[in-house]
Chain A
């Protein structure tokens, strides 16, 4: 088996992997390699041909492919090696066995690893939607790839279940390609994707949107012929008598993303059941020394800019680890999700790290509050900081920065708790 030594091995060449590798090189790691199982680098971005990428990270409103290209270019110029069509078969802290058509198996021995495998979509089976099992049931991302990259239309008349961003963007895309989107159904009483997508993709195109509604049956033996939509009560149970049959030949699912952590588990990385991603500290170090993680593999972000930012931090930490610059012992505080907060990343932090700059806390709320909301961070039983937001929504991640000035108050604290309550 061919052997390869490197300082930092990055798994996945999406925006997270590209930024992590780029930053690892800039931090001083000599030999940085990305392995990517797809034919092309860029992760999910090459199929996201709409704009809205990079407004914050690059100060430009780019399409997905453009954003990806900028980072591929940056990484290449920094001397990052990208092995495409390469699948990771096995992973330990200092060893990865990968396979590709050119070299067969390669045994890679890195000093540090950054996990950037992104996420996958929840399929129909995960929802256990009853009915027939015909052709024409796709996840929205698969349909996006078929349309935008392969040039094929999965169907002619669509019902979209779930109001995630990919679903909304596909509703517009399919309409522009001459297909009909009969309806978008969302089980929650509010849209689960970004507001801007609701406006630009659904409302501007007059696509019927039904909230508190789900698919309760699929008809058609060969190809989808119709779906049954039902209204649901507050416990998501279909309301008897509310069923209606909507003819269509395709059902698209945009019902959630799951961080892709099978490989992380193989390597023994501890996974947070709430986020579905690794437990990480503010350096994006996982529970296994020498393994870091960034991007959607940690928790699902809504904006690529935040992915890039987190990955830069992870790449920096991985390079430091590879160069033996980890620093001395750490004293860590645990972060906890308080009122109306679903999760917070990172899970742990060392207040000492604030000396090197701010630390961003990313959180998602449980319920939307369409009114002024106060985000409070408590260190044990005293309030560290408080921020006022115009509203909070589960679809829109909230970012809070901890600064050098907070460090003194954090020393000696055991737990940081974050709440999101109506002001």
Chain B
């Protein structure tokens, strides 16, 4: 597929939330853009496994890129999510002080937040905090309230941005791993893939955990990423009666601590811990890690009922050795823009990172001529579960598949599944579908829907059910037909 002749203006390596929002931002201009990812879907990297908080911005060191881009990114969320039809709730977040020294930590966070330009921060009493969150431990002494903090659906933001980019002319190639950079003397002139080289005037590395590997190929040797695992529990929506807010403990030197939060879709999530490791692919959960998370969470909300757990997962922070985001167009390698060390608050910062990168490219000589036809608006697939009766009736009248419920826990209709299979960035795997329409995300975890979904996906994608995978590569859901004779 890789065509030697064509030259893209910009090649973006990595379609996580950062790469996808960069692609969308650049699509505002008259540019030929290619967005690449090695996975079978966008957002399969760190974007699919994180805490999903839109941070207010009091954590990062004043003056750092993290601090600036966090606060700026946070401010862009209302606009970006409205344009892209993404679920976002600016519900505010809390850091709760439980131990002796915590009050002074809260004061320090407040001061840092003010310096970073975080709006409306406020320290509230333990009593007031418990009024707002009755399930909170009686140990709570005080809390930092950040009204600008919020909750988002990170996968949704990622594929929505990618879809809007594609709708505005960006080319997306999945299952395409960049194995090297194509250089002509110093200058980067494209990328190398197993399917052949692809020519590009500028290459943006937004490869998350793998950014350093690609940087080293460009001779940028000093930057190194050390993955830091964070493990989580997801709880049934029934647990949401207990937890209403986003509750952080006081941060430690390595992480923001194990929090207890409601999610944008009404579940409860506990985590993450922070464990350094070498392997960039190891997303396994461990008994020790899960125990640590549960213990940490119980310190904040002692009444959590572990019987509500429906799933565990882990994500890897792409922690860099500078402690800050590294976003640069190094002089030594013209044509290259590098984004590395985009750990938390990378999701929050992503919309402002996209602008920052666009400006960097402009400064490096990329011609930014606005494209009049650009439309920032994307419409998502309606969710049957969130519609009112009149809307439901109208949709079923148009297409009866809206009336056939496939996933009972999350109440997802066949029409939503079909629409996701034909979206601008279509769902081609079970997990991709799950991220788009929430099939299998509920308490039965796909027990009821899977046999139906395999069939519907095979039909819509025009493949055999044997080719439907959970997450690409060799992750087939079923391996053969019954009664089939084998050699």
Contacts and interface: CB of A to CB of B under 8 A. Distances in A.
A133 B310 contact: no
Contacts of B455: 150
A186 to B, nearest CB: 19
B477 A154 contact: yes
A87 B411 contact: yes
A182 interface: no
B447 A131 contact: no
Nearest to B288: A130
A37 B414 CA distance: 13
Nearest to A140: B447
Interface string B152-196: 000000000000000000000000000000000000000000000
A147 B451 CA distance: 10
A59 interface: no
A178 B484 CA distance: 9
B415 to A, nearest CB: 9
B403 A100 contact: yes
A222 B475 contact: yes
B469 A135 contact: yes
Contacts, number: 150
B272 to A, nearest CB: 14
B389 A222 contact: no
A99 interface: yes
A249 B447 contact: no
Interface string A115-131: 00000110111101011
Interface residues of B, number: 60
A104 B392 contact: yes
B266 to A, nearest CB: 13
B222 interface: no
Majority SS at the chain A contact face: mixed
Contacts of B311: 123-125
Nearest to B395: A104
B447 A85 contact: no
A147 B482 contact: yes
A47 to B, nearest CB: 9
Given A85-B404, A101-B403, A105-B389, 7 more contacts: A120-B443, A130-B289, A152-B479, A153-B478, A153-B479, A154-B479, A222-B473
7 tightest Cβ-Cβ pairs between the two chains A and B: A101-B400, A125-B311, A135-B470, A123-B445, A101-B403, A152-B478, A135-B475
22 contacts: A37-B408, A101-B403, A102-B403, A103-B403, A105-B396, A121-B444, A125-B312, A126-B309, A128-B309, A130-B287, A131-B284, A135-B469, A146-B451, A150-B455, A151-B482, A152-B465, A152-B466, A156-B480, A221-B281, A222-B474, A223-B475, A249-B479
Interface of B: 233-234, 281, 283-287, 289-290, 306-307, 309-313, 389, 392-393, 396-397, 400-405, 408-409, 411, 430, 443-448, 450-451, 454-455, 465-466, 469-483, 486
Interface of A: 1, 37, 85, 87, 89, 97, 99-105, 120-121, 123-126, 128, 130-135, 138-139, 141-142, 145-147, 149-156, 177-178, 216-218, 221-223, 238, 249, 262
